[in-house]
Each structure stands twice: as structure tokens, then as C-alpha cells.
A and B are shown apart, each in its own frame.
Chain A
Amino acid sequence: MTLWYRVLQPFVRWVVIGLLRPRVEGLEHIPASGPAFLVPNHQSILDPILVQAICPRAVDSMTKSTQFSNGIFRWLLPRLHAFPVRRYRTDAQSVRVVLRRLAEGRIVCVYPEGERSWDGCLQPFRGGTLRVLLRAGVPVVPVGIDGTYDVWPRWGTRPRLGATVHLRFGEPLHFGALQDRRAREAALPEAERSLRRALFELSGEAERAAAEALEGRNPSSEDARVEPY
């Protein structure tokens, strides 16, 4: 763990707990030692801060390369265990960094949706991210984030505190270490289904969809078309 991470993490944790008051569940699902993936849904710019602040172990984050364009962030982010990924091409270097860090027994956080959701709902997963999960063969801890969209949606001009924020760590998924490309491709659909199912439940989206379905019976509400997973 870098000195900067060691110094800043407790401070950010204190700020995050003070301002967002997140309800945290399932911390016991994070392996106490050894490599693992944390795989959260992505609702808000606050998500990476929240995950790193709450996780009891140091978290290395795959971060979009444009974040490193700014001089200050370019200096700071590596010290907070972030590394860049170019999203407009298959970035072999970022995959190498992921595998290297896992080999060192670290926790790596990747966002399978690849970008923040505009409407707070789970988006399609990026095939490349899933392939890395299948190749690495380490426990994959799904992390459901619920409520950060209420605090600061992608389109919001500023945060609005007061919403209830949940952070739920799910039971680790085990996909095995599929080194063979064909085996990975074959396993991809089932892996995607398992992860989507887990994030759908943990992020509270299943609950919201059910509530909206009930609300749909109310004639005053607009057409309640609910498409549960």
C-alpha cells in the first residue's frame, strides 16, 4: 500500500461515512487475503470513492485513461492504486497490469458497465471486462451500489445529500481460470448472466423494478413497463 493511500483512505472514509452514511453489508465476502476482483455497478462519480473508502483492504482501480490527462490526477491516481485503461481499443497493457496485480495478491476493482449509467439502471456489460474475469480465475465479488445515483447522477450538476446509500458485497463468484480462448468465449454468456443476476439483486434494482411494477397499477402513474432481468 502506498503512503498516500494509507494516509488518505482513513480520511476519505471518515468524510464518506459522515456525508453519505452508507449502509454496508457483506464485508465478510471480501477475501481476507489473496487476490480478488471487486465488480460494482456504476451509478455515479462517487462510486470509486465509496468502494475504496469502505473496503477494508487496499483496492486497485482500473480507471479510464482520460482521468490521467490532468497533471494533478496523473500524479495522484497511481498513488491511490489506480491505473489507466484506454476504452476505445483493446488495451493489452491494462490487462497485463490487472493480472500482475492479482498475481501479487491484490484486490482489483473493475466496472463491467464501462461507464456511469444515465438512468441509474444496470447497462450491458463490456465483453472485454468479462473475459479478464474469466482469464484471471480469482474470486469475483459483486458489489451492489444503490443510492449514489440519488445523491449525484451522471447528469446532476451537484451532489444532493440525504439519500440512503447502500453498499452490498455479494458472495464471491468463481468462474475458474480459463486460459484457453475458446473456453473463455463459451463460458462468457453464463458468466455474464451470473454477474448480472448478482448485481441486479445487490444494487436494489430488482427491488425497484418490483415496486415500479406495483406502482404501474396506479392509473395516475405513467406507463409502468417493467422488464425484470
Chain B
Amino acid sequence: MALGDFLYRCPFCGAEPLEGKGDKASCSGCARQYERGEEGTRIFVHEGDGRKSGIPARRLAERLDELESASGPSREGRGYLLESAAVARFATGEEPVRFRGALLGYVEKMGPERAGTLGLGARTLKFRERDGTVHQWDLLDLRALQTASSTVQVSSVEGGVVTFSFAGDSPRWWERLLKVHLRKLWREEDRGEIFEFQPRIRAR
């Protein structure tokens, strides 16, 4: 994970994604540079004119929320709202976890990594593997959505969990965009207002 996973676009000018690795990130749009502060709750923002200020992470997150409601991603193209190189893993089943003979629970059995491209369309989520195989989910069929460490996980009514990890994009960005889009879609379909995305999507 990196600072760019949290600040998936510039909180000031909205350009995305931020460049950089680890605890530093920079914006190619407004030349601001971001750096993990002495306290993690504060992030140093280096302005183009040399000024430096420590801004609470929460306030930067609020700015991102405001940007999200004002405008979508700036990389629209090829019919997708967002498209990223991704590695997918499909759950192939579940295995019981036992300890001293007692059943503790279950854990997903994940299949091999498959590299490809994940695209978010108006009504679909589409993963195209490098060999051309296409997996597509109707957004209204998604049953749950969450981020786990550095991945985004979705499950659909057809069952099975799929995890996506991104080399050049933030899982947080994907999760938030999917949430905004799902809320909008559910509203349009008169399915109500989504208030929970896991353990399953629920609306009232």
C-alpha cells in the first residue's frame, strides 16, 4: 500500500492518479506534493511555491468526497467510467477451518491469479483477461462489495467472490467509485437507498 492508495486523486485539483511510491505522492496537475507527516493523521502538503502545511488526513478525505460528488473520474474513455490493469482471483470454493476438532469457520479457496483489465461501465463490471476471456457482472447483480487490505472484493448473486488487485490504481478509488455508481443505479431502478455494502448490499 502507498499514500497514493489513500489519496487516489489530488484533493485540490482532482487530477488522478497521483504519482509516486510509498509515503510520497505528487500531482501532475497542480504540482503539489504529498508526504506522510510525522503523525500519520497529518499529511504534509508541499505547495508549488515552497509552502508546506500539515493537513489532517480526514480533511483531505473530505475534499475527495466533495470532488466525487462534483465530478467523476477524469479518465473516461473507451466507454468505461474507470479502467485499470488488474489481477483477479476467483474463489473456487470454501474450506473449513478446524481446531481441536471444532469447526471455527470457513475460508475462501482462491484460484490462480489472472492478469487483465477491469472496466467499470454504466451497468456492468467487466474483466478481460490477457488471453481475451471476458468475465462480466451486471452491477445490479452484485451482492457485496468491500476492500480488503490492497484488494477490492465483489461477490454476485451467481455466487463466488472475486478479488481484484491493481498495479497502478488505488483499491480505495475503485471501491468508492463502485459505491457511488451502485447507489445511483439502485436509486434509478427504484430499489431504494443503499445503506450497507457488506456482508451484503442492503437498501431501504
Contacts and interface: CB of A to CB of B under 8 A. Distances in A.
Interface of A: 64-66, 68-69, 74, 78-79, 83-91, 93-94, 97, 114-115, 118-121, 126-128, 149-157, 160, 162-163, 208, 212, 220-225
B interface bracket (residues with beta carbon within 8 Å of A): 35 or more
B89 to A, nearest CB: 10
Interface in B168-189: 172
A36 B78 CA distance: 54
A156 B97 CA distance: 31
B27 to A, nearest CB: 15
B134 interface: no
A221 B59 CA distance: 11
Nearest to A62: B105
B6 A153 contact: yes
Q: Name the residue in B38, B108, B202 with the highest tally of chain A Cβ atoms < 10 Å from its Cβ.
A: B108
Contacts of A88: 143-144, 146, 153, 155, 161, 198-200
Contact residues of A: prevailing secondary structure:
loop
B55 interface: yes
A119 B58 contact: yes
A155 B20 CA distance: 13
A83 B172 CA distance: 26
A154 B6 contact: yes
A188 B111 CA distance: 38
B97 A220 contact: no
A212 B198 contact: no
A150 B153 CA distance: 27
Given A88-B146, A120-B41, A65 B5 contact: no
Given A66-B108, A84-B106, 13 more contacts: A64-B148, A69-B108, A83-B97, A86-B105, A88-B200, A89-B144, A93-B105, A94-B105, A120-B57, A150-B41, A151-B40, A155-B6, A156-B23
Given A68-B107, A88-B198, A115-B148, A153 B59 contact: no
Nearest to B105: A84
A128 B199 contact: yes
6 contacts: A69-B108, A114-B198, A126-B199, A212-B56, A222-B55, A222-B59
B125 interface: no
A87 to B, nearest CB: 6
Given A115-B147, A149-B40, A151-B40, A65 B57 contact: no
A126 B1 contact: no
B141 to A, nearest CB: 14
Nearest to A67: B107
B12 to A, nearest CB: 9
